């Protein structure tokens, strides 16, 4: 499970033969557990959805140097 409000580097998980699925959970507060339960048991809840942001396939797909913290460049470590 990934609990995150933003994209993360999951390339190692994607390349692993031991991981068959990745479940992303946003910050669901007190209802997160119930929502996960409904999705996992298939209780009429769609297991598919759309995200409000893009997950790059690999870090090199991101624009610029995401480790550059200089705000004047137009890029930061979180926002491009």
**pLDDT tens, position by position, 43-78:** 767 767 777 778 887 777 877 666 666 666 665 555
Per-residue pLDDT, averaged over 19-37, amounts to: 86
What's the Cα-to-Cα distance from 6 to each of 17, 22, 31, 37, rounded to whole Å? Answer: 25, 15, 19, 22
Q: Which helix (H) or strand (E) holds 25?
A: strand 24-25
Asked whether 47 and 39 are in contact (CB, 8 A), the reply is yes
Q: What is the pTM of this model?
A: 0.58
The residues spanned by each domain of the chain are 2-73
| pLDDT greater at residue 75 or residue 26 | 26
């Amino acid at each position: 499970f990934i609990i995150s409000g933003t994209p993360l580097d999951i390339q190692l998980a994607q390349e692993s033969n031991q991981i068959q699925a990745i479940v992303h959970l946003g910050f669901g507060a007190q209802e997160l557990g119930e929502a996960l339960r409904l999705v996992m048991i298939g209780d009429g809840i769609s297991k598919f959805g759309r995200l409000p942001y893009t997950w790059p396939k690999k870090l090199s797909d991101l624009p610029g140097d995401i480790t550059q913290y200089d705000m004047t460049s137009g890029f930061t470590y979180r926002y491009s």
